[in-house]
Each structure stands twice: as structure tokens, then as C-alpha cells.
């Protein structure tokens, strides 16, 4: 009984789900027809390759830009309470201690 009910509901739901998912995925699978759109896609892919090659740093970083970048990071770290040379991208380690409570005498 439960199986037949499930099958009946599935027959109605599956075509609807396929239509919805295809509607979402189909534009991503198609090639861009607009030349501006294609240029944008090409630039994003090019930037992704160059970013991966840079190893996590900014793409096309010159020594001057790197100095400015480090100065800005130090400024933000100082603004939010970081010490010089502290890694502000690391999650802080918290240490909680239980407060000392005086015992209650029940006599």
C-alpha cells in the first residue's frame, strides 16, 4: 500500500523535478551566443587560471602593489586588535575556565 502510494506520487513529481532542474542547468551548459557574454566568460576563465598559477596571491602583483597590500592588511589588523606579525586569517583560540564558586554550608 505504501509502495503504490509512493509510486503514484513519484510519477507526478519526477517530471516536474526534471523540468525545473533542466531549466536551471540548461543555460549553463550552452555556449554563450552573445559576443560580450563570451568575452566575459573567457576573461573569467583566464583569471581563474592566472589566479591558480599565482598560488593564492593577487594576480599580476608588482612589488609596489604587494607593499601597499601588506600595509593595508597591517592597518586592518591593527584596527581590529591584531598584534604586529599576527596571522589575522587564523581562527582565534579561546580558553574558557570555570569560575570558582564558594561552597554553601547547609548545616
Measured between alpha carbons, how far is 36 from 26 in angstroms, rounded to an integer? 19
pLDDT for the residue numbered 76: 84
**What residues have CB less than 8 Å from 69, skipping those under 6 apart?**
58, 61
pLDDT in tens, 60-93: 888 999 899 888 888 888 888 877 777 777 888 8
What's the grid cell of residue 11?
510519477
Assess whether pLDDT exceeds 60 at residue 10.
yes
Measured between alpha carbons, how far is 47 from 45 in angstroms, rounded to an integer? 5
Contact between 88 and 76 (Cβ < 8 Å):
yes
CA-CA distances (angstroms) from residue 76 to 54, 85, 92, 93, 94?
Answer: 23, 12, 16, 20, 21
pLDDT for the residue numbered 38: 86
**DSSP conformation class of 56:** T
pLDDT in tens, 29-72: 566 678 888 888 889 899 889 888 888 778 888 899 989 988 88
Give the residue, 65 or 10, on which the prediction is more confident.
Answer: 65
Going from N- to C-terminal start, the domains of the chain cover 32-81
Amino acid at each position: 500500500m505504501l509502495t503504490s502510494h509512493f509510486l503514484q506520487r513519484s510519477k507526478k513529481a519526477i517530471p516536474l523535478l526534471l523540468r525545473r532542474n533542466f531549466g536551471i542547468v540548461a543555460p549553463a551548459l550552452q555556449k554563450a551566443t552573445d559576443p560580450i557574454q563570451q568575452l566575459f566568460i573567457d576573461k573569467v576563465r583566464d583569471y581563474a587560471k592566472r589566479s591558480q598559477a599565482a598560488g593564492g596571491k593577487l594576480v599580476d602583483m608588482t612589488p609596489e602593489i604587494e607593499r601597499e597590500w601588506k600595509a593595508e592588511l597591517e592597518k586592518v589588523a591593527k584596527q581590529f586588535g591584531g598584534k604586529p606579525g599576527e596571522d589575522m586569517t587564523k581562527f582565534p583560540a579561546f580558553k574558557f575556565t570555570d569560575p570558582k564558586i564558594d561552597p554553601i554550608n547547609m548545616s
